[in-house]
Chain A
Amino acid sequence: QVQLQESGPGLVKPSQTLSLTCIVSGGSTSSDDYFWSWIRQHPGKGLEWIGYIYYSGSTYYNPSLKSRVTISVDTSKTQFSLKVSSVTAADTAVYYCARENGGPEVWGQGTTVTVSS
């Protein structure tokens, strides 16, 4: 049974780059059956889909974040990553990674990232 686990710093300074990794266990990021995505949830708010990556490296990013977001995949390590550059307080959120199969199917538990000096 596949499981996903986010990891990364919980505190990032404004203007810096937020970097998170999602480790996939019980499955492979080199599978052509799935996409691998990132989703975030601002405190007390709804959910925002950030984007996803296919094992081949092809990506789609939400235009609301596109200029600042990079998602990459390391199939050898069964993990994928998220980078958000030039962060502000508005990027403070719980960040989730997910495996997509007709929409996000399996989710990580989430990791809280706070942007503050």
Chain B
Amino acid sequence: DIQMTQSPSSLSASVGDRVTITCRASQGIRNDLGWYQQKPGRAPKRLIYAASSLQSGVPSRFSGSGSGTEFTLTISSLQPEDFATYYCLQHNNYPWTFGQGTKVEIK
């Protein structure tokens, strides 16, 4: 299985901060990566697909970059509704695998 390693596992930030989350794949996955946001008691919601494409309806403050083994999710200006847990997912190689998650908390 491809291992997806996210960092950090948690972070504290303030409204308006720029936040960056990294996901590293144990082998190359081209751009077959998505980013998901999950709030407590809710299903995950896809924010980014194909590593850098913004899902329809998702605010433009979210962006993704990377290819191969290194990927980044950036929130340009953190908003109150962005406090959540974020996961990456690779769908290049079976079985699909998720990162362990990054919890974004209020500072």
Shortest Cβ gap from B49 to chain A (Å): 5
Those of A33-52 within 8 Å (CB) of chain B: 46-49, 51
A46 and B88 alpha carbons, distance in the complex (Å): 11
Contacts known (A102-B49, A107-B44); A49 close to B97, Cβ less than 8 A: yes
Residue B59 at the chain A interface, CB threshold 8 Å: no
Chain A residues whose C-beta falls within 8 Å of the C-beta of B78 in the assembled complex: none
Chain A residues whose C-beta falls within 8 Å of the C-beta of B89 in the assembled complex: 47, 49, 103-104
- Contact between chains at B43 and A49 (CB < 8 Å): no
Residue A26 at the chain B interface, CB threshold 8 Å: no
Those of A46-61 within 8 Å (CB) of chain B: 46-49, 51, 60-61
Residue B71 at the chain A interface, CB threshold 8 Å: no
Shortest Cβ gap from B97 to chain A (Å): 7
Chain B residues whose C-beta falls within 8 Å of the C-beta of A109 in the assembled complex: 42-43
Most buried by B among A63, A96, A107: A107
Shortest Cβ gap from B45 to chain A (Å): 7
- For B31, give the chain A residue with the smallest CB separation: A102
Chain B residues whose C-beta falls within 8 Å of the C-beta of A101 in the assembled complex: 49
Contacts known (A102-B34, A103-B49); A63 close to B43, Cβ less than 8 A: no
Residue A108 at the chain B interface, CB threshold 8 Å: yes
A63 and B94 alpha carbons, distance in the complex (Å): 9
Those of B60-107 within 8 Å (CB) of chain A: 87, 89, 91, 94-101
- Contact between chains at A46 and B95 (CB < 8 Å): no
- Contact between chains at A47 and B46 (CB < 8 Å): no
Shortest Cβ gap from A53 to chain B (Å): 14
- Contact between chains at A102 and B50 (CB < 8 Å): yes
Other CB < 8 Å A-B pairs besides A46-B99, A105-B46, 17 of them? A46-B87, A46-B98, A46-B100, A47-B44, A47-B98, A47-B101, A49-B98, A62-B94, A62-B95, A102-B32, A102-B34, A102-B50, A103-B32, A103-B46, A103-B89, A104-B44, A108-B43
